[in-house]
Amino acid sequence: MQDSKFCTLNSYNSIEELLTKELSFSKSIVKRLLSKNFLKRGVNKGDELSLPLDLLNYQWVNPSYEGESMMVIKEDDNFIAINKQHGIHGHPLNYSERNTVVNFLRNQFCLSAFLDESKRGESNLLYRIDRETSGLMIFAKKNSIYESIRQNFNHMVKEKVYLAVVEGEFNQEGVHSHYLESFGKKGAQMRAASSGEERVSIKTSLVEYNEQRGLSLIRIELGQGVRHQIRCQLSEIGFPIVGDTLYGGCESSRLFLHAYEYRIEVDDIQFSAKAEVTDLFLTLFNLNSGL
């Protein structure tokens, strides 16, 4: 983590007082990034302090990008669609991170979402997909459009289609609905529950069965969309995704889940994009067979 040095203009009872009262950083962020002993230290006028850039640039996106180049699928005045590789996060959790979709966008495009006072450039991705999942991610260039879609997401996002590879010949085509709840350490997993606020659903169909390998390529139309929904529900109906060991899938070089297509309608604006698969999906299946 990089630091930046500066001299204090006044004296303070503690560094925590300087940061939270004088510089208006939130206590929770300050305590998360700095040790208790450091925060308790007194400050005299003219003292030189070193503070982490993750604090000083909190919520800003680092303009450097250190990952592989990403494919821009489509761009217009309102949106940019990216085909994300598996193994890469969508947005950074702190300023030090330089290998996410949003870092790539910040590095490649001059967008007001990264420069205005709202500091929410990292949030303008319209939805999240897991680090292990590949495929389509859509970024709203304007905060007004982002806010409008996020407030009415299920109404304005008309289509959400994913592809997955599962073991065996898939025989569970149709709509599958469950109540889901988080469990495990820090709620890291989801599981089906007997009750809840709302049932969530996916619609599944078989695209192709590779008999030689004993693998099925399936298409999933996502309903409401909650964390790990597809992974959890496919496991629940007996077909965990290849590579998804968290939900009972066999070990593999990757998690074979791919965000394939989204269609958006907001007011008089329409946007749709598809992220063609680019890795082992191609070698396992003939993807021209009617997706």
Give me the CATH number covering residue 92.
3.30.2350.10
- Reported as a pLDDT band with limits 50, 70 and 90, residue 117 is low
Q: Answer whether residue 285 shows pLDDT above 70.
A: no
289 pLDDT above the threshold of 50: no
37-71 pLDDT, tens digit per residue, is 999 999 999 889 899 999 989 889 999 999 999 99
SS3 37: helix
The residue-averaged pLDDT of 105-127 equals 84
Asked if residue 233 and residue 176 are part of one domain, the reply reads: yes
If asked whether residues 196 and 275 sit together in one domain, one would say: yes
Give pLDDT tens digits for 167-210: 999 999 999 999 998 888 877 888 889 888 889 999 999 998 98
- Strands 215-222, 200-210: pairing kind: antiparallel
Q: Which of 151, 167, 184 is the last residue of a domain?
A: 151
Domain identity same for 131 and 235: no
Residues 32 and 118 in one domain: no
Per-residue pLDDT band for 288 (boundaries 50, 70, 90) equals very low
| The predicted structure's pLDDT at residue 98 | 94
Give the total number of structural domains in the chain. 3
Which pTM value belongs to this model? 0.89
pLDDT tens digits for range 201-242: 999 999 989 888 899 999 999 988 889 999 999 999 999 999
The per-residue pLDDT for 6 is 80
| 43 and 105 belong to one structural domain | no
Expressed as residue numbers, the domain containing 138 is 59-151
CA distance 182 to 184: 7
Is 61 in contact with 106 (CB distance < 8 Å)?
yes
Residues 91 and 40 in one domain: no
Per-residue pLDDT at 52: 92
Three-state secondary structure readout of 137-193:
EEEECCHHHHHHHHHCHHHHEEEEEEEEEEECCCCCCEEEEEEEEEECHHHCEEEEE
Same domain for 123 and 45, yes or no, is no
Does the pLDDT of residue 280 top 80, yes or no?
Answer: no
- One domain for residues 104 and 169: no
User: Could you give the angle at the alpha carbon of 183 between the alpha carbons of 189 and 155, nearest 5°?
Assistant: 65
